[in-house]
Amino acid sequence: SQQGEEDPQALSIQEGENATMNCSYKTSINNLQWYRQNSGRGLVHLILIRSNEREKHSGRLRVTLDTSKKSSSLLITASRAADTASYFCATDSVGVQGAQKLVFGQGTRLTINP
Amino acid sequence: SAVISQKPSRDICQRGTSLTIQCQVDSQVTMMFWYRQQPGQSLTLIATANQGSEATYESGFVIDKFPISRPNLTFSTLTVSNMSPEDSSIYLCSSLRDTFSDEQFFGPGTRLTVL
């Protein structure tokens, strides 16, 4: 079952604006990762934030984590047309026989309008 | 960090046939993972493949349908057997960035269409 729920499911903004996507999860985590996927291709790893971290930056990306609310947000500043993609959060979980696995949210489809 | 490639990038197959997808990592990794992404959906883990042992399958996935090989620390294959149109998906392999990282990197995916 999906652990993460992302909000909104779709977001359309003008180039240059900031985009914020949210992710909520249900169980305790060690870390949370954000990924980008362009047009059904492979996933590009954006950032990992650990449960003991509250905020992390990478270029135009800012990720926050609130473990008390079991939620995370991804902020993309000064958006560009090339940022148009689907964005997924993924939390670590323990799968069958103790194997570590990622559980993905449903994703946010971001469209940047020129 | 690990670079992952997959072959084929896409294929169109007939119902009842099987397809084997290859995944190559440019460095030795302990665990490799296989995910499925059905059209318009998110990713779901199929199985975890450790070198030298049987793959560990998630609930809802069985070895007869998705046999996996892991002959060495840089390579794995996933076979989609006796395909039906419901198997039309993107199949992705992944591994950890390196031994000391929790970051999971993905291959470019294999887009499978079953007619």
Task: Find the CB nearest B48 among A101, A104, A105.
Answer: A101
- Which positions in chain B touch A42 (Cβ < 8 Å)? 6, 92, 106-109
pLDDT at residue B66 tops 70: yes
CA atoms of B113 and A101, how far apart (whole Å): 26
- In 3D space, the residue among A71, A72, A84 whose CA is nearest the CA of residue A11 turns out to be A84
Per the CB < 8 A criterion, the answer to whether A90 and A101 are in contact is: no
Mutate to test the interface with B, among A3, A58, A91, A96 (most CBs of B within 10 A): A96
Chain A residue closest to B89 (CA)?
A40
pLDDT at B65: 98
pLDDT at residue B102 tops 90: no
pLDDT at A95: 57
For residue range A43-83, list pLDDT tens digits in order.
999 999 999 999 999 999 999 999 999 999 999 999 999 99
**Residue A103, beta-bridge partner list:** A91
CB count within 10 Å of CB A103 equals 22
- Which positions in chain A touch B104 (Cβ < 8 Å)? 33, 45, 90, 102
> Confidence band (pLDDT; 50, 70, 90) for B51?
confident
Chain A residue closest to B60 (CA)?
A1
pLDDT at A3: 59
Q: Are strands A108-113 and A10-14 parallel, antiparallel or unpaired?
A: parallel
CA atoms of A9 and A85, how far apart (whole Å): 12
For residue range A14-38, list pLDDT tens digits in order.
999 999 999 999 988 889 999 999 9
CB burial of A9-18 (b: ≥16 within 10 Å; e: otherwise) equals eebebeeeee
Q: What is the DSSP letter of B64?
A: T
> Confidence band (pLDDT; 50, 70, 90) for A96?
low
